């Protein structure tokens, strides 16, 4: 698993209070991890700080699964 | 009202109600950024008065209807203040005209500043307030937003829109400990009402149960309350401050 995935996972576990093993590339933020829309916005804000990136509003809206976030970050690094 | 240590941004704060709100928040202990659209000198005078109170203050020019200027302003304000707990969306203009004579441009100008400006500024501060898990947003509506007023279709539509926007923002941000309320002034003596003759003002006063026109400080003190910890269980509300003129 990539380093990006591990860092993203740590943030998700801390922010949403979910168990490690639930955070997979396929897990959806809303259905699988129990995040509401505002949680997702906050997660994106934290990921921006963690990786020194800016997610545009259009790109943020497309992030549904953990994998979406990881791939997006990897494409920007 | 104690606002010691709080950081505030007030739009349209170079004169009138906005000026008094900025000063009142500072008197209660807040550091205040004074936004203005055109009159730098007046804005600077407000800044000087706030500094005399021993509080940090600076003026930032920005048209609240312009998203880029708003984002830049909010960034500068947060950098300067080191946080942002209180946003007062006060900036507003009038272009009064009967609907039959109102130009499309007059409609657009008023809606852009008075309603879109509230949306843009709120959007720009939301990140910071969500991170802090603390915030107070106070939107200045108007009595006419509830009652209607001939000759002010654009202004009334915007001020009424602010009430709906306030409720929605309150619902979206409540879980992050951010409260959002509106204050709806009645007839307040400012530049906006100074064109009225004494006779008209006296007639107006007769229609007001408390028997006088309002003053900017009547509004400012309500805003200070809504900015404080004393109002922590109030959100999504419109507080009418109008001497009983509209109930």
pLDDT tens for B48-85 read: 999 999 999 999 999 999 999 999 999 999 999 999 99
Whether pLDDT at B194 is above 80: no
pLDDT per residue as tens, chain A (77 positions): 578 999 999 999 998 999 999 999 999 999 999 999 889 989 999 999 999 998 888 888 899 999 999 999 999 88
Per-residue confidence (pLDDT) for residue B15, from 0 to 100:
94
Q: Name every chain A residue with its beta carbon within 8 A of the beta carbon of B130.
A: 38, 41-42, 45
Query: Would the pTM of this model clear 0.90, i.e. be above it?
Result: yes
| Residues A38, B130: C-beta atoms closer than 8 Å | yes
Whether pLDDT at B12 is above 90: yes
Range B146-166 burial, b when 16+ CB lie within 10 A, else e: beeeeebbbbbbbbbbbbebb
Active-site residue A32, yes or no? no
Whether pLDDT at B11 is above 90: yes
Beta-ladder partners of B87: B9, B137
ipTM of the complex: 0.76
Tell me the C-alpha distance between B177 and B2, whole Å.
18
What average pLDDT does this structure show over B36-46?
97
- How many CB atoms neighbour CB B209 within 10 A? 9
Of B4-13, B39-48, B193-202, B230-239, minimum mean pLDDT range? B193-202
What average pLDDT does this structure show over B189-206?
83
* B75, B123, B131, B177: best to mutate for the A interface, most A CBs within 10 A: B131
Kind plus residue range of the DSSP H or E element containing B203: helix B198-206
Whether pLDDT at B125 is above 60: yes
Q: Does A32 contact B at CB distance below 8 Å? A: no
| Helices B16-27 and B40-52, axial angle in degrees (round to 10) | 20
């Amino acid at each position: 698993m990539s380093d990006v995935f591990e860092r993203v996972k740590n943030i998700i576990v801390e922010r949403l209070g979910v168990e490690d093993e639930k955070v997979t590339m396929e897990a959806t933020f809303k259905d699988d991890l129990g995040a509401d829309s505002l949680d997702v916005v906050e997660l994106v804000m934290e990921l921006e700080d963690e990786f020194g990136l800016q997610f545009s509003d259009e790109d943020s809206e497309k992030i549904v699964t953990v994998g979406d976030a990881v791939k997006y970050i990897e494409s920007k690094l | 009202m104690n606002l010691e240590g709080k950081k505030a941004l007030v739009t349209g704060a170079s004169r009138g109600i906005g000026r008094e709100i900025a000063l009142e928040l500072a008197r209660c202990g807040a550091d205040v950024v004074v936004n203005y659209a055109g009159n730098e000198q007046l804005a600077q005078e407000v800044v000087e008065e706030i500094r005399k109170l021993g509080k940090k203050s600076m003026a930032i020019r920005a048209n609240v209807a312009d998203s880029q200027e708003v984002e830049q302003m909010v960034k500068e304000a947060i950098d300067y203040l080191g946080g942002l707990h209180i946003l007062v969306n006060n900036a507003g203009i009038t272009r009064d005209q009967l609907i039959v004579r109102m130009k499309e441009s007059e409609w657009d100008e008023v809606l852009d500043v008075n309603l879109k400006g509230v949306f843009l500024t709120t959007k720009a501060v939301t990140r910071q307030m969500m991170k802090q898990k603390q915030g107070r947003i106070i939107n200045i509506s108007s009595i006419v937003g509830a009652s209607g007023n001939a000759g002010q279709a654009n202004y009334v539509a915007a001020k009424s829109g602010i009430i709906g926007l306030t409720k929605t923002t309150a619902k979206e941000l409540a879980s992050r400990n951010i409260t959002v309320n509106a204050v709806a002034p009645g007839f307040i003596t400012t530049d906006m009402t100074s064109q009225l003759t004494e006779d008209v003002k006296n007639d107006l006063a007769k229609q007001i149960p408390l028997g006088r026109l309002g003053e900017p400080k009547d509004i400012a003190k309500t805003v200070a309350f809504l900015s404080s910890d004393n109002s922590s269980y109030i959100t999504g509300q419109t507080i009418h401050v109008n001497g009983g003129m509209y109930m």
